[in-house]
Amino acid sequence: MADSIQAFFFGTSFGEQINGKNTGLYGFAIPDLGILYRSRHNGSIYECQYAGLLALLKFIESNRKKLDDYQFEILSDSALIVYQISHRKIITAGLTPYYNAAIEYKNKVDYRISWVPREQNIAITGMDEVPPFMADLDLKLDIDSEDGKQANLRNF
C-alpha cells in the first residue's frame, strides 16, 4: 500500500472585474514537502477553486518520478468541487472543462478528495509550523497551449 500525503487547495474571487471576468486567487499546499503555491486567476470563485485543484494535480503529475510512491489525500473547503469530484457529477456547464480535466488526472495521479473546514485548509492559512524543505521537484506550473503560448485553464 502506498504512503499517503495530505495536500490542500483553495480558490477565491475578489469580485473585481478585468475584461468582464472576476479576479481571484488560487493555490495549494503540500505540508509534508514544505510547498505552498499561490497565483492569480480570472474567473468565478468556482473556476478559481478548480484552478487550485488543477495546479496541484499538474504539480503532482510533473513530479511523478519522485512522488509516484504516494497516494494523495487532497483536502479543500470547497464543498462544491469536492462533491463534484467525489461523486463524479458536474453541476454547472461552465465548470465542465475544469471538471473534465480533474477527472482526467485520476488516470495519472493516485488521489482521493475530501472536505475540510476553511480554518483547517492549510493552503489558505499557511504553514507557519512547517520548516522549509529543499526538495528536488519541478515547480513549472505554467500551462502551455499547442502553439507554445501560455494558456489559461480553459484550454486543457
Distance CA 83, CA 80 (A): 5
Grid cell, residue 101, equals 480535466
Distance CA 136, CA 123 (A): 21
Q: 91 to each of 19, 88, 123, 143, how far by Cα in Å?
A: 25, 10, 25, 25
Residue 81 belongs to domain with CATH number: 3.30.420.10
On whether the pTM is more than 0.75, the answer is: yes
The DSSP 8-state label assigned to residue 119 in this structure reads G
Quick: pLDDT tens for 43-63: 889 999 999 999 999 999 999
Identify which of 6, 64, 4, 26 has the alpha carbon closest to the alpha carbon of residue 153: 26
Domain of 25 in residue numbering reads as: 3-155
Q: Over the chain, what is the mean pLDDT?
A: 82
Greater model confidence, 99 or 131: 99
Give just the sign of the alpha carbon dihedral 7, 58, 141, 15: negative
Q: Is the pLDDT of residue 4 over 50?
A: yes
Number of domains in the chain: 1
